[in-house]
Structure 1
Amino acid sequence: FCCSTPAPGLGTKKSLSLFTSFDLTTFLQSLSAIHTIEEINNSTLLPGIKLGYEVCDPCASPTKALHCVEHLLAVNGSLPALVDYTDFRPPVKAILGERYSELSIAIAKLLSLYLFPQISCSSSSPVLSDKLRYPSFMRVIPSDVYQARALVKLMSHFSWNWVGVVYGDDDYGRAAYQSFMQESEGKICADFEKVVPHYLDHVDVDKHIKDVAQSIRKSEAKVVLLILKPQLVEKLFKEMIQTNTSRIWIASDAWSMNRFLTKMKDINKVGKIFGFSFSMGITPGFEDYLKNLRPTPGARNDFIEEYKQLRLNCSLSPSTCAIDDVLQAVDLREAYRERVAIHAFAHGLRALLTCNETACSGDTNFPPWQLVESMRSVNFMLDGNTYSFDKNGDFADGYDLIMWKEKNDERFIEIVGRFLLKNGDVEILTDNHSHLCFILQLPWSKCSESCPPGSVKNQSKIPCCYNCVQCGEGNYTDGWDLPECLRCPKGMWSNKGGSQCRKFEEKYLDWKDGYPIALLAATAIGLVLVLTSLIIFYVHRSTIVIKKADNTMSCFMLLGLAVSFVSVIMFISRPNEHLCRAQQAVYGLGFTLCVSCILVKAYRTFLAFIAFDPDKQHKLKKLYKPLINLGLLTGGQGIILLFWLVFGSPRPDLKWPGTGMEKYVVCDEGSIVGFGVMHGYIALLAFICFFLAFKGRKVPHDFNETGVIIFSMLIHLFVWLCFIPIYIERNKTEQRHIVQASAILASSYGIMFCHFGLSCLLPATAFTINKQILPGQNKLDFSSHIHCKCTNNVLIV
């Protein structure tokens, strides 16, 4: 139970170790094992069998540990050299130890030769789980593989992904470090990694400690994992205290429960300390056992005397030794694993010797390998818990999460959570309010700032470092540090960098808005003008002017204009599939009908232009069939619209122009080819009208309307040439409907005013009145009068 320093010279015949101090914790753990042995001897667990023990202290030296093993296994003072050890029957049947992994590894290699059972209560190196190399080694704790997993879970739980790691240059330190790095790959990144010699008397140990302290001070990592022996941790903490450096320290199981460190001077200056310890418990009756501890009558035990002096400050008889709170001096829960280990050995022995409640029938002089097999399969209850070994000879229960809380100038260790291997997660105990308050004050230790809701991580080359990128429109994140944005559900939307989706406001040409009201007013005026013109044509249908104006074609023109005006109404209100189809179809048929009528009139004028060539006029006159021409020209547009509606019909669509939560509901053209062909067909008819009227502009006829046709077609072509770029620019907003509706109104009003202007309707009305008063007036004179007044009016053609 002593800490040790190797002798100054090797190869001399001096003692291999010099004992320097008394280790109270290790002594109590040995007493716990002895107490448990006496407890079992006084029970019916092994009836007729009494367990004995022999204690040998290796003083943290592998050489001394091997010497102890040789001493315990010796038969007649020496180890036998045999070819086959299957029948090797030493007097000692099992070994409890070692404390440190490097010592357990050293003796486990030797014991594997004899298949001799070895149980450790604290050696946690992962290499000891290798049953090919260490077939007889067992332990009542988990492997450091799980401790590494618990450490990663702890750091992830508190969002610590940027840490420093310091480990000892020994089997335990290297194995624990490697396990931690494997578990933390892609989750936790090390800002620095430092190795410290594990021999306390190493000539460079202080230099290495100072170098580690310098790295910690320079690093931006706020969390440091220490996989070191307590003595090395003490040296490092002294350096930190001198420079007043505070960090969050994560303790490995090697020093997480060290009481000496909790009482260091100015220990509260180093910062917060977390760690994992093996699951602890209370040994029934152990405290009373320690209070009444005394050597056997007539014997002297210096260890017991020193223990009483250290723990109770008393060297007299136990009855005179008193202390107000013995738990303040030492935590007896640290010695619970020895109790579990002794019970594991006892239950393995009970199974091997086939014991019942009254006797054991097996042979007590058995070879050790038989006990190894028996112990591997034990499954026993102790203090309300079930214990068993896994296939690697390890216990798989879990760890207690502890923190070192401040109390005056010292620290005390308190359990604040646990890590259970069965679910692989860290559970924080929140039943104590002080625990929760302490945890909420912990700083973050991250390579990059956390990405808030509404953004995602854009990973850099270092797994733990990243940039935050805002989610685009229609995407969101509702948590911190999420890897990708989520798409908003149908019918909902979010702004750029949004953390939640909301139902967006649909924008379209509503009846109550200003633009739609203006469009409706213009449409209503246009329909009134069409209706007025029709009334005038009907009332004066018998006059010469109306008859010569080709009453039929004019009425079809007014019908087409009326349909075009009506199509504007369909651009208002929320678009749906039927409205989207009707908008284009109604306008396309109506305006094509109107332009077709103008084309028929222009063709008639063109025939008059070629009157000087009777043969050509006679041939072309055969094509002049007004109603048939009108039906064919309008029918062509109907076929175009039919193909468009069948193969690429317009449909309602939502457009996302980046104007916040206002999303535009518009009619998508469907097939852009169909949309273009429809308007192109109308433009072609308009151009032909313009061409024919331009050719016939010099016809010496009193009723020539070529000027009207030329001017109206120029208006139409100009309006729709301007429409194209504006429509494309406003394609993603509800204004696209305003643009098209305005173009329809402009071209319709252009034809309306050119062909049916009131300036021509009024003289026609005056002419009718004059004719009723002067019925004998010469028609040619009247015609000459009209020609003078209405040179560019459809009513005089």
Structure 2
Amino acid sequence: MGLWARMLCSLLFLLQVLAEPAENSNFHLAGDYLLGGLFSLHANVKGTVHLNILQVPKCKEYDMKVLGYNLMQAMRFAVEEINAHSSLLPGVLLGYEIVDICYLSNNVQPVLYFLAQKDYSLPILKDYSHYVPHVVAVIGPDNSESTITVANFLSLFLLPQITYSAISDQLRDKQRFPAMLRTVPSGSHHIEAMVQLMIHFRWNWIVVLVSNDEYGRDNSQLLNQRLLSGGDICIAFQEVLPTPAPNQIMTPTEQAQLEAILRKLQQTTARVVIVFSPELALRNFFLTVLRWNLTNTVWIASESWSIDPVLHNLTELRHTGTFLGITIQRVPMPGFSEFRVRGTRDSPPPSSGTSQQTTCNQECDACLNITASFNNILTLSGERVVYSVYSAVYAVAHALHSLLGCNQTNCAKKVVYPWRLLQEIWKVNFTLLGNQIFFDEQGDVPVRLDIIQWRWDLSQNPFQSFASYHPMQRELKHIGNVSWHTPDNTIPVSMCSKNCRPGQMKRPVGLHPCCFECLDCMPGTFLNQSADEFDCQPCPSASWSHKNAISCFKRHLAFLEWQEVPTIIVVILAVLGFLSTLTILVIFWRHYQTPMVRSAGGPMCFLMLTPLLLVFGMVPVYVGPPTVFTCICRQAFFTLCFTICISCIAVRSFQIVYIFKMARRLPRAYGFWVRYHGPYVFVALMTAIKAAIIAGNMLTTTINPIGRTDPEDPNILILSCHPNYRNGLLFNTSMDLLLSMVGFSFAYMGKELPTNYNEAKFITLSMTFSFTSSISLCTFMSVHDGVLVTIMDLLVTVLNFLAISLGYFGPKCYMILFCPERNTPAYFNSMIQGYTMRKD
């Protein structure tokens, strides 16, 4: 066929199409493959009241839903647009069968009609794999309750169903509803968008009003679950709105319920009200709100009424507060505004054999006229939910394109089984008016949600978007300015309690965590808001804080330092003691065989001098921050050395008295004492007992250094060895005092001994000083705390050892160095003989 012949045939075909009359109904369109459409053109919000009579309800007797007819027109627009563009389904004509479901009242009969064959029969079969119903797919319904009812039927046949507005999370269960998909995000995303909106504006005290149906109950449950998981927002109260009759006339009981709700709204401090309800159930409510003159309220609309033009037409609502809502993204659809108000011409019934008598609720006399009266606001509001219908039809068309193996010129017309078409719908992924359309694993299209504000300024969009919520990222974006119905356009405050100042913790008041009083955090504590806003946490041991602090600062560590004057004085004394002891040790070593050294104890003198020398050399362990090693030295080394010295003095005093006064009376005991080295055994025994006391004290208390707060200045942290240091000192001192008393007693008993052996006054001096200093230290520690205790402890320790070194060994060194004539055996013998003669 030549080019001119093809052009002639095309022209004849076009003239034939133009000559045919248009369809006579908005509800029918003949085609090769039919789509079923379920829309709510009218609504009986009282529910399924028709079940008490055996007939299909007459939807046109109920109130009309302008948005329902608008959505229906979107389906017609999409089908006609696909048919006009041969690239998607070339040579294939899509048709539709649309039924008004009256919101809830007329669900089952249309589904049975869609599932039946062309002869209106629905056979009972064992296997429906090759069953061909009246339609290849169903678009709708609009609400979740009706969608669940329809999906229970269609899923048995795996007949694809794409809803454009039902958001219930129950529909995400693909085991229960394997054939149900939707072109809107689920209800959990709508709830999350609401919650993030409230968090952004710091609203944590809200009121929830719900309709007495599945829609209200499901969404309020989702909201409560979300708030329980987050804990940032509290519900002041939740009430169920009375459902009006189809004629919108309220009974006295319903009027009383509304007034009780309005009374609570007036009394509560919550200024944000979330309303989950179909739009037809809200007209009486908002008329009552206007009568009560309720103002300064933020109304947050769920998707069911967020862009309802009828409620928006109540212009006096602008005085009640600010209206915000959650809805589908705005997508302009070129040509739809003109198509929406385009009428149809009468024509014969469609060639598909369908007639108005075969179904019901496929007429709406007032739909076109009423929609035309709202056309301006519908146009200005942008195409939102209608795009969900539009994209649902295109999703089926793309699936048919794949299933029929279409190319640029034609498609293979063949029998389409529902389950095969369903498989192809799950795979679709295409771009439509700049948006990517595909179904996730729950069967949802993750399109953007818009946060809109109602505006009554005729020159602007009546439903103006100021933020968006992205289901994939689960976050609010592009938050713009809102025109608040408040003085100076300030953001309304809806909080049970005002925010606490920094450094103040919250103490709950009542049952709601959002209601609290603010208490100051005390010094030494701070408030970590990211961890716990209801409790002030104590600062770590090395840190401190002032009142109302949100963090701690490091305290000044107090310990004995080298540059301090008391430290310098004590170190000078220690150096003096070290040098004097070293001198005494050298003198005694060089005069070891002299009577003076032997009368002082002989080898036992070196047992006393060696610990004294080590003690003076270990004084630096008291200076600087304490460690485990220095604490052990303070608690063990010094007191052991002191015990060794006191034991040696005590046993030496005993030995001198025993020799001069009791040796002759108890010669065997003296021989036994000498033979078994009694002095050294006594010193070892006393040292072992002291070591056991020290070990027991260390086991019952910690050895690690700790910090204690200075009672006079909390900014200072005193570093010490352990908190029971006083108790340990008392235990250690008690044994030393006992040995001192023993040594003093024997020294006193020997006051009549020869001068060279009479050490009573020297021992008395050192022991009295040791006793007095220990008592003074314990008394000082019971009164004072801090670095002074460490200084006093070190000073007493050094002075005690100086008293032993200079008080006991000093006079003997003097005699050795300056009175050598008295350090001879002859002189000692004469002194002993003189003592013996006096005794005789």
Counterpart of 2:707 in structure 1 is 655
Tell me the amino acid that sits aligned with residue 410 of structure 2.
A
Provide the C-alpha distance between the structure 2 equivalents of 1:538 and 1:112, rounded to a whole number of angstroms.
111
Residue identity in the other structure for 1:343: Y
Q: CA deviation at 1:328?
A: 7.1
For the residues of structure 1 that align with 2:287 and 2:370, how far apart are their CA atoms? 28
CA contact (8 A) 2:505 2:536 kept: yes
Counterpart of 1:47?
A: 90
Q: Quickly say closer, same or farther: Cα 1:116–1:670, change in 2 above 3 A.
A: same
Q: Which residue of 1 aligns with 2:6?
A: none
Of 389, 393, 407, 1:356 maps to 407
Residue 235 of structure 1 deviates from its aligned partner by: 4.0
What are the residue-to-residue correspondences of 1:773-792 with 2, within 5 Å? none
Aligned partners of 1:344 and 1:350: how far apart in 2? 10
Shift of 1:358: 1.6
- The answer to whether the aligner puts 1:421 opposite 2:471 as a matched pair is yes
Matched with 2:256 is 207
Task: Check the 8 A contact 1:223/1:250 in 2, yes or no.
Answer: yes
Could you say what secondary structure the match of 1:415 adopts? strand
What is the alpha-carbon distance in structure 2 between the residues aligned to residue 15 and residue 48 of structure 1?
Answer: 39
SS at match of 1:53: strand
Structure 1 CA distance for aligned equivalents of residues 218 and 797 of structure 2: 82
SS at match of 2:709: coil
1:427 maps to a residue whose letter is L
| 1:343-381 CA distance string (max 9 Å, x none) | 0221232233332222121325x4555544543443333
Aligned to 2:273: 224
In the TM superposition, what whole-angstrom CA distance separates every residue of 1:132-165 from its partner, at most 9, and x where no partner exists?
6655443222332443444445555666555432
Name the SS of the counterpart of 2:141 in structure 1: coil
2:389 pairs with 1:338 = yes
The corresponding residue for 2:80 is 38
In structure 2, give the amino acid aligned to 1:281.
V
Q: Choose which of 184, 187, 190 in structure 1 pairs with 2:235.
A: 190
Q: Matches of residues 599-638 of structure 1 in structure 2 within 5 Å?
A: 599-607=650-658, 610-611=661-662, 614-616=664-666, 619-620=669-670, 623=673, 629=679, 633=683, 637=687
* SS of alignment partner, residue 614 of structure 1: coil
CA 490–765 in structure 1, closer or farther in 2 if over 3 Å, else same: closer
Match of 1:179 in 2: 222
- The partner residue of 2:793 within 740, 749, 763 is 740
1:209 Cα offset (Å): 2.2
Residues 686, 288 of structure 1: alpha-carbon distance in 2 compared, 3 angstrom cutoff = same
Contact 1:455 1:477 in 2 (8 A): no
Aligned-partner Cα distance in 2 for 1:630–1:570: 29
Correspondence for 2:68 among 8, 15, 26? 26
Q: 2-side partners of 1:594 and 1:111: how far apart?
A: 103
- Structure 2: which amino acid aligns with 1:428? K
Question: 2:45 and 2:193 mapped to 1: Cα distance?
Answer: 35
For structure 1, the residue ranges without an aligned partner over 5 or more in a row are 313-325, 773-778, 788-797
8 Å CA contact 2:653, 2:747 repeated in 1:
yes
Look up the equivalent residue of 2:405 and give its one-letter code: T
Q: Is the 8 A contact 1:127 1:175 kept in 2?
A: no
Structure 2 Cα separation of the partners of residues 193 and 350 of structure 1: 49
Q: Which residue of 1 aligns with 2:165?
A: 122
Q: In structure 1, what is the equivalent of residue 375 of structure 2?
A: 311
Greater alpha carbon shift after TM alignment, 330-339 vs 584-593: 584-593
Residue in 1 that maps onto 2:351: none
Which structure 2 segments of 5+ residues have no match? 1-39, 349-363, 836-840
Name which of structure 1's ranges 626-635 and 300-309 shifts more when overlaid on structure 2: 626-635
- Residue correspondence of structure 1 range 241-320 to structure 2 within 5 A: 242-262=292-312, 264-287=314-337, 289=339, 293=342, 295-296=344-345, 303-311=367-375
Tell me how far apart the structure 2 counterparts of residues 111 and 533 of structure 1 sit (CA, whole Å).
Answer: 112
* Residue of structure 2 equivalent to 1:790: none
Give the C-alpha shift of residue 256 in structure 1. 2.0
Alpha-carbon spacing, 1:16–1:587, altered in 2? closer, same or farther (3 Å):
same
Structure 1 segment 182-581 matched on structure 2, within 5 A: 182-188=225-231, 189-200=234-245, 201=248, 203=251, 204-240=253-289, 242-262=292-312, 264-287=314-337, 289=339, 293=342, 295-296=344-345, 303-311=367-375, 329-363=380-414, 366=416, 368=418, 370-390=420-440, 393-397=443-447, 399-404=449-454, 412-423=462-473, 425-430=474-479, 432=480, 441=491, 443=493, 445=495, 477=528, 479=530, 481=532, 498-520=549-571, 523=574, 564-576=615-627, 579-581=630-632
Deviations, residues 561-616 of structure 1 (Å, cap 9, x unaligned): 665555445412333455445545663465345434532542244226625x7232
**Which letter does structure 1 place at the counterpart of 2:795?**
S
Query: 1:80: which partner in 2?
Result: 121
SS in 1 for 2:398: helix
Q: CA deviation at 1:766?
A: 14
Check if 1:598 corresponds to 2:642.
no
C-alpha distance in structure 2 between counterparts of 1:19 and 1:329, whole Å: 30
Q: Deviations for 1:70-90, whole angstroms, at most 9, x for unmatched residues?
A: 6777777x8425323946655
Structure-2 change in CA distance of 1:83 and 1:562 (3 Å): closer
TM-score, length-scaled by structure 2: 0.71
Deviation, 1:509, is 0.6
Query: For 2:469 and 2:172, how far apart are their aligned partners in 1?
Result: 20
Q: Relative contact order: is structure 1 or structure 2 higher (C-alpha 8 Å, sep ≥ 6)?
A: 2
Structure 1 pair 440/680, CA: closer, same or farther in 2 (3 Å)? farther
Counterpart of 2:745 in structure 1 is: 691
Letter in 1 for 2:218: A
Compute the displacement of 1:624 (Å).
6.4
Q: Does the 8 A contact of 1:274 with 1:404 survive in 2?
A: yes
Query: Within the alignment, does 1:144 sit opposite 2:177 as a pair?
Result: no
Mark the CA change 1:684 to 1:33 in structure 2 (over 3 Å): closer, same or farther: same
Does structure 2 retain, via aligned residues, the 8 Å contact 1:651–1:669? no
Aligned equivalents of 1:404 and 1:573: distance in 2?
72
Provide closer, same or farther for how the CA distance between residues 130 and 631 of structure 1 changes in structure 2, counting only shifts above 3 A. Answer: closer
Identity %: 23
Distance in 2 between residues matched to 1:60 and 1:354, nearest whole Å: 37
Distance 1:744 1:148, change over 3 A: same
